[in-house]
Amino acid sequence: MTMIYKHLGRSGLEVSRLCLGTMNFGVQTDEQTSFRIMDRALELGINFFDTANVYGWQLSEGITEKIIGRWFAQGGGRREKVVIATKLYGKMGESPNEQKYSALAIRAQCDASLKRLQTDHLDLYQFHHIWRDVTWDEVWQAMEILAAQGKIIYNGSSNFAGWHIAQASEAATRRNYLGLISEQSLYNLNARTVELEVLPACKAYGIGVIPWSPLAAGLLAGRPKSGEAGGRRDTPRTKEMFEKNKQKVDAFEALCKSLGEEPANIAMAWVLKNDAVTATIVGPRTVQQLESILRALEITLSNETLSALDKIFPGPGGAAPEAYAW
C-alpha cells in the first residue's frame, strides 16, 4: 500500500493522511513498544506524529514527549523524516504561569517541549484548548517571536469552536502572520457537531482538520470478540457507551459485516472522506493495531453506504447557518 499525503490546510506542508497519535506512550504502551510503533509508522509512510506536553499525565514530567525525544536521539533520520506536532495549555507545574497562553508561558513551554523532544524546532505548535482570558495579540506576538527564532514553523489549534477559529485567524491576518493552519477536533460518526460551525470555518480559512477519536474511544471499533482484549473497549466507561448506543452499534456492525469490512476501518474511511479533513489521528497501542488501520485508506464508500451511515448516525443537519437559520 502506498501512503497518501495531503497539504495541511492552506500550507505547503505535506503530511500523511494518518497521523500517529502518541497519547498511549508511557501510559498504556511501554517505551520499547512505542519505539517499535514509531519505527513501523515511518516504514509505512506515516510522517505526521502528534503529542502534547501533558501526555503521560504526571505533573511537569512530559513523559510522552521524552519517549519521542529518546526515539529521535537514536538517529537514522528519524527526526528529519517526521513532522512533529505538540501542544501546550495544560498545567505543567505549580506556578499559575506554567500553563495556558501568557507570553511567558508560551516561551517557557516551548523551550521545555524542545528539550524533552530533543529537537531544535517544532513543526506544528498547537493550542490544546481555547483560553478566553488572553488577547490574541499577546498570543500571536509570542508565537511570532518563536517563529523568528526558528523554534516553531506552524501553528494549529485543538478543540476550538468556529468562532474561536475566526477570532484567531482574523487577529493573525491583522498582524500579517500566517496564523492557524490546522484544527484538531473531536469528530467521528457518533460525534458530528463540528459539521455545523467548525468544519465550515476551517474551509473558509484554509485550515486542515485533524479529527481525534475517530473511533469514538473504541465504540466504532466493534465489540471485542470472545477472548479478545479490547483495550478501551473493555473499560466500564466504554461498556456503558456500548449499552447506551446499542441500537446504533448493532446496525453499524451489521452494515460493516455486509460490506465485508471491519467496523474500525469503515469509521476511519468515513472521516477521511470529508474534504475538510487533512489527516486523522490514530492511537495504536501495538504495532499490529497500527498495521490494521491502513486498510481504511483503501476503502471507497459508495453513496448507498454513506446514506446508510447517515441513517444510523444522523448528523446535525449540515453546515451552519443553513442547518438552523434561513
Task: Cite the active site residues.
Answer: 55
Q: What is the DSSP letter of 131?
A: -
**CA–CA separation, 234 and 28 (whole Å):** 13
DSSP per-residue codes, 247-292: HHHHHHHHHHHHHT--HHHHHHHHHHHSTTBS-EEE--SSHHHHHH
Task: DSSP letter for 135, please.
Answer: -
Peptide bond into 321 cis (omega under 30): yes
Residue 105 has which C-alpha cell?
508561558
How many C-beta atoms lie closer than 10 Å to residue 186's C-beta?
A: 17
Closest CA to 158 of 323, 21, 29: 21
At 285, list the grid cell.
497501542
Which residues are CB-neighbours of 79 under 8 A, at least 6 positions away?
Answer: 72, 118, 119
Contact 192, 313 (CB under 8 A): yes
Q: 193: Cβ–Cβ under 8 A, 6 or more apart, which residues?
A: 316
Grid cell locating 292: 490494521
Rounded to whole angstroms, the Cα distance separating 149 from 225 reads: 52
Rounded Cα–Cα distance for residues 166 and 190 (Å): 25
Q: Are strands 14-16 and 18-21 parallel, antiparallel or unpaired?
A: unpaired
